[in-house]
Amino acid sequence: MPESITIAVVRRLSPLLLLFFLFTGFVPQLLANTSTGEASLQEAWKALTDKSYSKKEKAITLIARQNTADAYPVMKAMLDGKLYFSTRDKTLFVLKEQDGNYAFTPLFAGQAVTQESKRGFKKVKINNRLRTRLRQALALLQLQHEDKKLRLAAVQELLKNPDSKAANLIRDVVEKETDTEIRTAMHTLLAVIQLESPNENEQREAIKKLADSLNPSALNALTAYQPPNTALKKLANAAIQKINDRRDNYARAETIFFGLSLGSVLALAAIGLAITFGVMGVINMAHGELIMIGAYTTYVIQLLMPEHIGISVIVAIPAAFIVSGLVGMAIELTVIRHLYGRPLETLLATFGVSLVLQQTVRSIFSPLNRSVETPQWMSGAFQINEVLALTWNRFYIIIFCLAVFVALILVMKKTLLGLQVRAVSQNRLMARAMGVRSKWVDALTFGLGSGIAGMAGVALSLLTNVGPNLGQSYIIDSFMVVVFGGVGNLWGTLVAGMSLGVINKVLEPWAGAVLAKILVLVFIILFIQKRPTGLFPQRGRAAED
């Protein structure tokens, strides 16, 4: 700011006002029009009490341009219908209602009055035109507020009612704006104003600028635009086309992101099953309940550490792995161990286990749904541009799914346990002959699969309510994912989960959520007919029964 202006400002304002400026960060940089002095401002304040709306409008414009400290609160009060004047001497008051009483605080000089009725005071009436003007003026003032959110809100307000007279002011403000999002919005606003200019060259410039904007107001302005000649009309139509294409592309990207996050949930739920079903060949109908146990573990951990919700979710991941893993090993040791080689019986027995687990949870935690609190760091969204915003929790789920997956692949490929698991699943007798304790490996493998189900439960607990039936709703989906991907193939499970998620979300807009799900189910049923071994079948002799 040039020094001379600063000095002029300081001289003009009382020390109190200066203090106000220092605190609120209002920077009076709009005193370009120095010819209108204090006197005309006083008149403007007076003019607000006038009956004529056009006089009031002029006064507002003047006050807004002067931008003194009073301007913002007074215009706000006026917009809210809280600005009154005394019928005696036409001095301005701001009304505040206090337990049935009316408190009138004077703006400049005079006594504060609190009384039971509004007698002696009259409201400064406004009409719709004035209301729009006030909003514009307020937004213009707010453009220079230090709070980013308020500035953004101001730009958006102005985009709704662009004011051509404000162009100069906005141009000034843009230069100083540091936030790119607000800058982009301001540029759009300038272009929208420019579009209203009578000059055709200006209009052409504006259309070109608007074509690059994704702000909905840009599209609105272009749609409402009346081109004076065919060349401009063509240009405008091309711009609209371009905007729509880009919006469609971003919408598609969003759908795929949603699909991937849903796919991650499916894959997470299914990875554990890919181990127990895919690698060991055990049909575990209690798999969903192991997920549920993981979700309840998260809930309990949050109960134990209510002060640290943010950390609790992190703590819950290993905790859920251990709890579900132990429950899984217990199931293996007591039930499944006795049923190897009898897949249909295993299916029935583990279904029995799932009923028992459900009822146990129902007895301990009551049949009501419990909700797990989402930590602060997971809420909110990552705003890429005006159209595309990616929510953090979906983003983390994708990351989490991939992390679990990588960890699992490492365990299977790089550790002794993984080696033994693969050996047992390929040829049990030979593995035992080589000294692998196959029974112990079975228990550990089942525990690993169950533990991963528990970790999936942590993720699910953040997305849906935690209840006894949580697992049941995922068991069929999980089996579908594993079978679709090809039994015994971990990569297949990941690819299948992700593609089913994306297919589901792509179908959803025109089929509705339920029908999309039905279509996916039918698709998988038909797919299994065509390729009974899934997308990525196991090759070699082991694949043939």
Partner 1 sequence: MFMLDLLRNDKPGSWMLATLLVVSIAVPVLNLLVPEGSIFHLSTYTVTLLGKYLTYALLALAADLVWGYLGILSLGHGAFFALGGYAMGMYLMRQIGERGVYGDPLLPDFMVFLNWQELPWFWHGFDQFWFAALMVLLVPGLLAYVFGYLAFRSRVTGVYLSIITQAMTYALMLAFFRNEMGFGGNNGLTDFKDLLGFDLRADSTRIGLFLASTAALAIAYLGTRYIVSSRLGLASVAIRDAESRTRFIGYRVENIKLWMFVFSAMLAGVAGALYVPQVGIINPGEFSPLNSIELIIWVAIGGRGTLYGAVIGALLVNYAKTYFTAALPEIWLFALGGLFILVTLYLPKGIVGLRRMREARA
Does 362 sit near partner 1 (CB under 8 A)?
yes
Cα separation of 514 and 313, whole Å?
30
What is the DSSP secondary-structure string of 43-78?
HHHHHTTSS-HHHHHHHHHHHHHH--TTHHHHHHHH
Candidate residues 212, 528, 535, 537; the one interacting with partner 1 per rule CB under 8 A: 528
Q: Which of residues 251 and 525 has its CB atom nearest to partner 1 in the complex? A: 525
Candidate residues 157, 254, 345, 373; the one interacting with partner 1 per rule CB under 8 A: 345
Of 155-163, 307-315, 346-354, 387-395, the window that binds partner 1 (rule: CB under 8 A) is: 346-354
Does 381 sit near partner 1 (CB under 8 A)?
no
**CB distance 206 to 195 below 8 Å:** yes
Size of the site for partner 1 (CB under 8 A): 42
Record the tokens describing residue 415, joined without a space.
Answer: 């550790």
Cα separation of 197 and 86, whole Å?
43
Minimum Å gap between C-beta 299 and partner 1 is 21
Does 406 sit near partner 1 (CB under 8 A)?
no
Does 483 sit near partner 1 (CB under 8 A)?
yes
Burial class (CB in 10 A: 0-12, 13-18, 19+), 500: buried
Cα separation of 88 and 55, whole Å?
20
Candidate residues 21, 53, 351, 491; the one interacting with partner 1 per rule CB under 8 A: 351
Does 358 sit near partner 1 (CB under 8 A)?
yes
Contact code string over 456-475 relative to partner 1, x by CB under 8 A: ----------------x---
Minimum Å gap between C-beta 256 and partner 1 is 24
Minimum Å gap between C-beta 366 and partner 1 is 11
Minimum Å gap between C-beta 370 and partner 1 is 19
Candidate residues 208, 338, 414, 437; the one interacting with partner 1 per rule CB under 8 A: 338
Candidate residues 434, 518, 542, 543; the one interacting with partner 1 per rule CB under 8 A: 518
Record the tokens describing residue 68, joined without a space.
Answer: 């003194």
Record the tokens describing residue 204, joined without a space.
Answer: 């052409």
Candidate residues 5, 326, 330, 355; the one interacting with partner 1 per rule CB under 8 A: 355
Cα separation of 515 and 418, whole Å?
40
Does 335 sit near partner 1 (CB under 8 A)?
yes
**CB distance 261 to 394 below 8 Å:** yes
- Type of residue at 62: L
End-to-end CA distance of the chain: 83
Does 353 sit near partner 1 (CB under 8 A)?
yes
What is the DSSP secondary-structure string of 313-328?
HHHHHHHHHHHHHHHH
Tally of CB atoms within 10 A around 326: 15
CA 215 to the chain's CA centroid: 18
Which positions from 262 through 301 interact with partner 1, judged by CB under 8 A?
283, 285
Minimum Å gap between C-beta 439 and partner 1 is 17
**CB distance 441 to 420 below 8 Å:** yes
**CB distance 463 to 473 below 8 Å:** no
Record the tokens describing residue 189, joined without a space.
Answer: 């606003």
Q: Which of residues 240 and 496 has its CB atom nearest to partner 1 in the complex? A: 496
Which positions lie near partner 1, rule CB under 8 A? 283, 285, 335, 338-339, 343-349, 351-360, 362-363, 472, 476, 479-480, 483, 514-515, 517-518, 521-522, 524-526, 528-530, 532
